[in-house]
Amino acid sequence: MRNITLSQAVNEALAEEMRRDETVFIIGEDVAEAGTPFKILSGLVEEFGTDRVIDTPIAEPGFMGMAVGAAMTGSRPVVDLMFGDFIFLIMDQLCNQAAKTHYMSGGKLNVPLVVRTNLGATRRSAAQHSQSLQALVAHIPGLKVALPSSAYEAKGLLKTAIRDNNPVVIFEDKLMYQDKAEVPEEEYLIPFGEANIKREGSDITLIATSSMVQVAEKAAEMLAAEGISAEVIDPRTIVPLDEKTLIESVKKTSRAIVIDEGHQSYGVTSEIASRLNENAFYHLDAPVLRMGAMDVPVPFSPALEDITVPTPEAVVENARKLCSGEMIHAA
């Protein structure tokens, strides 16, 4: 094992898959010499050339459409979408074309492409570069959605995504690119639809996605000091979702909080909470609580931005209330 950053893990995953399969290529804005604004792809164009690391104009609908066509005809494109907020620009190509082609062709055509993009606030990037839009694409049948929570998860999930015959959208938290984790030197894949129990507990289940996994783990440590045992689970993928692991945990603990950085209304937290209520209702000692971002455009002001997303302290406060039997009314 060695400690590497999430950025390095993504770079390694792409390089390994491009060496393994010559049909894999990267397309997007500033992906070649610039290595993207976050420098994640640095060095790839030197190894693979501009035929496989393809810089494009600022025309997201155009290069996404090219990628869909390439995927339908034998390639495995990785579309680098500079910010997750730009997903609105490719919704037709992604949701009407890529997601539906397999079904509309009677299974004769596949669209094995990956959209690599990011999510997350608290980077002072303002309302149009700070959104967490994973719920939008998770709503569309035919798309798979992965949310890595560490360098280890990012590498294993990305390699699985590239080999999948379906379109996959993978969201990386832009604040985590320099976070380090232990990553094996040998090859590994992380299967989709298998949640990871990060910490076992008996009093309450904290289900968290992406960087909210770190928030949940910090909250669990704080709760342990108060004598409350919290189980922390990272779903890894929200489509497909490992319902079995989540439900079994909630049946054991009888309480749950679902934490996601997307807006709370009509989001990932709502979907997971609903499934828990439907499948573990008679095991619950309290309603499943949702914690998402405030339903406001992400502010540029640091003081305001920092209070729009869940924090460990807020998770601890809500967990304490749930475990004590105090009623909580969702905002």
pLDDT given for residue 327 in this prediction: 66
Q: What is the pLDDT of residues 212-234, one digit of tens each?
A: 999 999 999 999 999 999 999 99
Query: Which one from 12, 102, 129, 305 is the annotated catalytic residue?
Result: 129
Q: Residue 331 above 80 pLDDT?
A: no
Quick one: pLDDT band at residue 329, thresholds 50, 70, 90? low
Q: Model's pTM, two decimal places?
A: 0.95
Q: What is the pLDDT of residues 58-95, one digit of tens each?
A: 999 999 999 999 999 999 999 999 999 999 999 999 99
Quick one: pLDDT band at residue 122, thresholds 50, 70, 90? confident
Q: Residue 330 above 60 pLDDT?
A: no
Tokens 């967490």 label which residue? Answer: 132
Distance, CA of 136 to CA of 324 (rounded, Å): 35
Quick one: pLDDT band at residue 123, thresholds 50, 70, 90? confident
Q: What is the pLDDT of residues 142-198, one digit of tens each?
A: 999 999 999 999 999 999 999 999 999 999 999 999 999 999 999 999 999 999 999
Quick one: pLDDT band at residue 14, thresholds 50, 70, 90? very high
Q: What is the pLDDT of residues 251-292, one digit of tens each?
A: 999 999 999 999 999 999 999 999 999 999 999 999 999 999
Q: What is the pLDDT of residues 310-328, one digit of tens each?
A: 999 999 999 999 999 886 6
Looking at per-residue confidence, does 310 or 331 come out higher? 310
| Angle (deg, nearest 10), helices 6-20 and 151-163 | 30
Q: Is 329 a catalytic residue?
A: no
Containing H/E element for 5? strand 2-5
Q: Is 226 a catalytic residue?
A: no
Q: Are 25 and 52 in contact (CB under 8 A)?
A: yes
| Residue 252 in tokens | 């054991």
Query: Which one from 12, 17, 29, 60 is the annotated catalytic residue?
Result: 60
Looking at per-residue confidence, does 60 or 38 come out higher? 60
Distance, CA of 206 to CA of 249 (rounded, Å): 10
Helix, strand or coil, per DSSP, at residue 259 = strand
Q: What is the mean pLDDT of residues 110-120?
A: 97
Q: Are 301 and 294 in contact (CB under 8 A)?
A: no
pLDDT given for residue 35 in this prediction: 81
Helix, strand or coil, per DSSP, at residue 167 = coil
Distance, CA of 148 to CA of 151 (rounded, Å): 8
Q: Exposure pattern of 215-234 as b/e (b: 16+ CB <10 Å)?
A: bbbbbbebbeeeebebbbbb
| Residue 142 in tokens | 């035919």
pLDDT given for residue 71 in this prediction: 98
